[in-house]
Amino acid sequence: VGKKATYHHGNLKEALVQRAEQEIEREGFENLKMQALTEAVGVQPSAAYRHYRNRESLLRSLARRSFDRWDAEIRALMARTSPQHQAEAILRFFLGDALARPQMFRLMFDSEYGRDARSIVGMVSFLTLEQALRQLMPEEDEEGVRTRLLWSWATLHGTALLLIEGRLQRFYVGNMHTESLIEDIIRALLPGRSGRRLAPPRSPG
């Protein structure tokens, strides 16, 4: 808390990143302001440009960081999940993470800034999900699996965005709530097993 302990900030770069993540989660990446960010970190606006060429490169860097973490989490998840449950685990993780860090999700999956990292790191998880789906539909050919993958991805994408913006919640009836909806959607996306009923009995009895 010692204001200005040193003239040099020490690790301004990391401080900027940390703070930016906070700001983004509060205001959305569109509203990240360089001047507000640097001020929040206790430094002149110009100081940021010692570490990032410009605002865009900061945002790209944040997206990449986030994708790296995301990738690591999925790897860890796969490592501790049996092959038959991997697809389900990824689907659940995807939506859970999107709701836990909604604005980061948007930066990663719904913005230009996320594009580069998405097409590299994101691709890996994409194919991981494909492997996992293939386990569940062993008789399907490549095209069938890939189609299922794209369908699943699109469904997750749409569900996450609509939930993040609160555009589904207003339509809940009865006992519906976000968690039950997510469960139902995941069940609908998983091949085989549970049949095609959309909403099987949720609890014993």
Point out which residues bind DNA (CB under 7 A): 6-12, 32-36, 42-51, 54-56
Asked if 181 touches a second copy (CB under 8 A), the answer is yes
Q: How many CB atoms lie within 10 A of CB 11?
A: 11
**Residue 139: which of a second copy, DNA, none does it interact with, CB under 5 to 8 A by kind?**
none
State the residue for tokens 């001020």. 39
- For a second copy, the binding residue among 8, 82, 171, 201 (CB under 8 A) is 171
Task: Answer whether 65's CB lies under 8 Å from 17's CB.
Answer: yes
Q: How many CB atoms lie within 10 A of CB 12?
A: 17
- For a second copy, the binding residue among 143, 164, 203, 205 (CB under 8 A) is 143
Residue among 156, 163, 164 nearest 103 (CA): 164
Per-residue x/- track, 84-113, a second copy (CB under 8 A): --------------------------x---
Helix, strand, coil share (%) of the chain residues, nearest 5: 70, 0, 30
Q: Which amino acid is at 5?
A: A
Sign of CA dihedral 66, 78, 124, 163: negative
Asked if 5 touches a second copy (CB under 8 A), the answer is no
Query: Which CB atom, from 42 or from 158, has the smaller least distance to DNA?
Result: 42
**Residue 144: which of DNA, a second copy, none does it interact with, CB under 5 to 8 A by kind?**
a second copy
- For a second copy, the binding residue among 2, 195, 201, 204 (CB under 8 A) is 195
How many binding residues for a second copy (CB under 8 A)? Answer: 38
Rounded CA separation 61/36 (Å): 18
**Residue 198: which of a second copy, DNA, none does it interact with, CB under 5 to 8 A by kind?**
a second copy
Task: Answer whether 46's CB lies under 8 Å from 28's CB.
Answer: no
Q: Which residues bind a second copy (CB under 8 A)?
A: 110, 126, 140, 142-144, 146-151, 153-159, 161-162, 168, 171-176, 180-181, 184-185, 188, 191, 195-196, 198-199
